[in-house]
Amino acid sequence: MALAEITGDISSIGYGLAAIGPGIGVGIVFAAYIQATARQPESAGLTRPYLFMGFALSEALALFGLVLAFVFSNPA
């Protein structure tokens, strides 16, 4: 007897898991930028390119998860 049944695609769950790490990473990147700007307001322009670079590099991992979720999904 089946108590519970789940239908659907496990790759969606995989993408959800894959988004955890980059989510934390992007949070850390922005937290560090806010902290740096609060301590040294005149450095805001200097560190902004690094903010976006760090953001983009961490975000790329989540996007890989999204793409791979589609690659390994079974079209019903």
Partner 1 sequence: MSLQLAPLADSSVPWPPSVEEFFPPGLVGNWVTKFSIMVWIAVAVIIVFFLVTQRNPKIVPNKAQWLGESVYSFVRNGIAKEVIGHEGPRFAPYLTSLFVFICFINIFAVIPGFQISPSSHIAFPAVLALISFGLYWYQGIKKHGLGHYIKTSVLLPAPWWVQPILLPIEFAQILIIRPLTLAVRLFANLFAGHLILLVFTLGGFMLWNAGNIALAAVGVISWGMAIVMTLFEAGVALLQAYVFVLLTASYVQTSLADEH
Q: Residues in the site for partner 1, rule: CB under 8 A?
A: 8, 49, 52-53, 55-57, 59-60, 63-64, 66-67, 76
Identity of the residue, 1 or 49, whose beta carbon is nearer to partner 1 in the bound complex: 49
Residues 18 and 57: their CA atoms lie apart, in Å, by 14
CB of 14 to partner 1, least distance (A): 15
3-class secondary-structure state, position 32: helix
Identity of the residue, 3 or 76, whose beta carbon is nearer to partner 1 in the bound complex: 76
CB of 56 to partner 1, least distance (A): 4
- Reading the block at residue 7, the tokens are 């239908």
The alpha carbons of the chain give a radius of gyration, in whole angstroms, of 18
